[in-house]
Amino acid sequence: MTFNRDVFKIDAEYEAGQVEAFLLKSIRGVPKRDGIIVGVSGGIDSAVVASLSVRAVGKERVLGLILPEKESNPVSAEYARLMIDKLGIDYKMVELTDTVDSYQAYANRDKIIKEIFPEFDDNYKFNIYLPQNLLESERYNFYTLRIDDGKGNQKEKRLSKKQFLCITAAANVKIRARMIALYYWGEQNNYLVAGTTNKTEFLLGDYCKFGDGGTDVECVSHLYKNQIYQLGEYLDVPKEIMKRTPSPDTFSLPVSDQDFYFRLPFDILDPLLYCWEYKVEIDKVTKGLNLEREQVERVFRDFDSKFNSTEHIRYPPAALERDWSNFKK
């Protein structure tokens, strides 16, 4: 198989029509639904899904949820409102701080951070990130904690496995709280919960099981991130959202999706991911993307690691199977 960047070019009008038809068919399925609910995050993925939902069933049958908690970036709610106002859909603002706090997620997480940096308090913000420059050097996927005192002073320290798990478990409470809110309001209205995970996230496991992965349908999970942007341009998504740096928005100190998980910018990540998925010969990848063989092999190893370690979130829970048709005592 050969490769060039043209493989990512989509017929946006056709693709939009395919997604709209899929959504319309989904709400007419079993059980039949009366509309679609979307968590509108202020990012490009949810903006595209909300737009396509309106085109599929009409704005009167789409409900948007804005789901902030105390550490959310204020820009998220601002841009979510911008998108909702553009579409003219009904929406609800559901504050999740109390829900997250009820699991002691903030307190338990902060306890871990204070064990690392005793000075950490409410005046500080934090995030975690992976080593960058994957094309330039071989570095393992060990996370580093970064704290910021709000005065331009930062400290960093690599996390142990246990520390990382405690911090991400707290972050996932936030994501799963969003899912609970979507189903609470979705079931009240007999609405379908539409997911916003794209193919880049799906293949590499950058989503939360029973969180943003807990939906009724995934209508854009066949599209790479840069194809989502093509749809966004076609759908006239506001330029503020189109230009916004993608982020998980789960840490008090903003961090990009690239820094948090992917380790590469999307303009090179998606082409490499395509080549990895479709097993394009490495010599053709190096020629098509002007990279060295060592760089491509390094990235592919990272893709293998992420795909394999997150395989469990792409499938239903494992279950014991038994054929009872010929059961005898």
What's 228's domain CATH number? Answer: 3.40.50.620
Q: Which candidate, 238, 200, 202, places its Cα nearest to that of 51? A: 238
Please check the confidence at residue 2 and state whether its pLDDT lies above 70.
Answer: no
Rounded-to-integer distance, Cα 139 and Cα 234, Å: 38
CA dihedral 71, 72, 74, 75 (to 10 degrees): 150
**Length of the chain measured in residues:** 329
Please check the confidence at residue 318 and state whether its pLDDT lies above 90.
Answer: no
pLDDT tens-digit map of 95-131 = 999 999 999 999 999 999 999 999 999 999 999 999 9
User: What is the pLDDT averaged over residues 213-223?
Assistant: 97
What is the number of domains present in the chain?
A: 2
Q: Are residues 171 and 300 in the same domain?
A: no
Rounded-to-integer distance, Cα 216 and Cα 252, Å: 29
Q: Are residues 85 and 185 in the same domain?
A: yes
Please check the confidence at residue 326 and state whether its pLDDT lies above 80.
Answer: no
Q: How many CB atoms lie within 10 A of CB 320?
A: 4
Edge-to-edge strand ranges of the sheet holding 62-66: 90-93, 62-66, 35-39, 191-195, 217-218
Please check the confidence at residue 315 and state whether its pLDDT lies above 80.
Answer: yes
Q: Are residues 241 and 271 in the same domain?
A: no
Q: Are residues 90 and 188 in the same domain?
A: yes
Q: Are residues 306 and 229 in the same domain?
A: no
User: What is the pLDDT averaged over residues 14-42?
Assistant: 96
Q: Are residues 32 and 84 in the same domain?
A: yes
Q: Are residues 92 and 163 in the same domain?
A: yes
Q: Where would I find the H helices in the chain?
A: 12-27, 44-57, 74-87, 97-102, 105-116, 161-189, 199-204, 225-234, 239-243, 257, 266-277, 282-289, 293-309
Domain assignment present for 123: no
Rounded-to-integer distance, Cα 297 and Cα 130, Å: 19
Rounded-to-integer distance, Cα 250 and Cα 74, Å: 12
What pLDDT is attached to residue 1? 63
* Domain ranges, residue 290: 264-312
Q: Are residues 82 and 35 in the same domain?
A: yes
Q: Which candidate, 140, 19, 39, places its Cα nearest to that of 83? A: 39
pTM over 0.75: yes
Q: Where among 218, 247, 276 does a domain terminate?
A: 247
Are 240 and 85 in contact by the 8 Å Cβ rule? The answer is: no
Domain assignment present for 231: yes
pLDDT tens-digit map of 232-280 = 999 999 999 999 999 999 999 999 999 999 999 999 999 999 999 999 9
What pLDDT is attached to residue 213? 94
User: How would residue 329 be classed by pLDDT, with cut points 50, 70 and 90?
Assistant: low
User: How would residue 328 be classed by pLDDT, with cut points 50, 70 and 90?
Assistant: low
What pLDDT is attached to residue 324? 80
Q: How far is CA 106 from CA 98, 134, 162, 242, in A?
A: 10, 32, 16, 31
Residue whose tokens read 């690239």? 258
Domain assignment present for 109: no
What pLDDT is attached to residue 140? 79
Q: Are residues 292 and 165 in the same domain?
A: no
Domain assignment present for 114: no
Rounded-to-integer distance, Cα 132 and Cα 32, Å: 46
Please check the confidence at residue 36 and state whether its pLDDT lies above 90.
Answer: yes
pLDDT tens-digit map of 154-202 = 999 999 999 999 999 999 999 999 999 999 999 999 999 999 999 999 9
Per the DSSP assignment, residues forming a β-bridge with 146 are 127, 156
Q: Are residues 276 and 182 in the same domain?
A: no
Rounded-to-integer distance, Cα 34 and Cα 15, Å: 24
Domain assignment present for 238: yes
Q: Are residues 308 and 233 in the same domain?
A: no
User: What is the pLDDT averaged over residues 50-63?
Assistant: 98
Domain assignment present for 204: yes
The mean predicted confidence, pLDDT, of the chain is 95
Domain assignment present for 291: yes
Q: Are residues 182 and 282 in the same domain?
A: no
Least confident of 74-83, 129-138, 142-151, 267-276: 129-138
What pLDDT is attached to residue 30? 85
What pLDDT is attached to residue 139? 78
What pLDDT is attached to residue 5? 79
Domain assignment present for 110: no
The type of residue at 78 is E
What pLDDT is attached to residue 115? 97
- Determine the 3-state secondary structure of 45 from DSSP: helix
